[in-house]
Structure 1
Amino acid sequence: MEIITGVERRRQWRDEEKLRILAELNEPGVKCSEVARRHDISRGLLWQWREAQRRGRLAAEPPAFLPLQVVPELAAPEPPGGSAALPYTGAADPGVEPDERIEIVLPDGTAVRVTTTISAGILRRVLAAVRT
């Protein structure tokens, strides 16, 4: 039994502590309730942290700005057979899906191409993996 004599205050958890506690959940045979009890927190709070981690809001490394350079659109590749092609106008051919990709070139020359529909959380994880 715990007797609180003063004003109860919420604990402030650093991201490193949250991630360390969440890492315990990944060990084999560990139950969420055991981890919560060991750290004197609710299971619901663990699930909130896990959800934040899954969505990319809770990460070991804070987000950083990267330099960005916009380059002009590249010309269409020459068709096979060596015949001269018509100049590329940017208009899509009938029945051909437009190429909606983003290319990110890192300072070391690594290029990452992703679709425009990628979520911010997944893109964060991809860039973090590429930088390591």
Structure 2
Amino acid sequence: MELITGVERRRRWRAEDKLWVLAEAAQPGARTPEVARRHDISRGLLWYWRRQLRQGRLAVAPAPEPVSLPVQVSDPIHPGPVAPAVAVADPRIEIALPDGTLVRVGADVDAAALRRVLSVLRR
């Protein structure tokens, strides 16, 4: 049983979130009622989003052109410039975005996967 107190408001779904739910519903073996229940939406809304997608009314704005940002390399143990020949036991890439989001990945991360993650975070 669900008890609702106060005024219920409509949720605002971003186009990216709608597309994420639609992609989940399009997976082999996925069932529309289960996907709708998992995201707490009606099946009718899911079908409406599908129709919007087919009609080209539901799309994500193109990603902005990549920009170059200044990079600062530091060693937390020995502050100051890092010598290029320093061996690192646990090579990681750390990316701090202007909004405070911090992304840490291993040096072995696939470039395409990192690009996808960063494109989602920029939105």
Output the TM-score relative to the length of structure 1: 0.45
Structure of larger gyration radius: 1
More RCO (CA 8 Å, sep 6+): 1
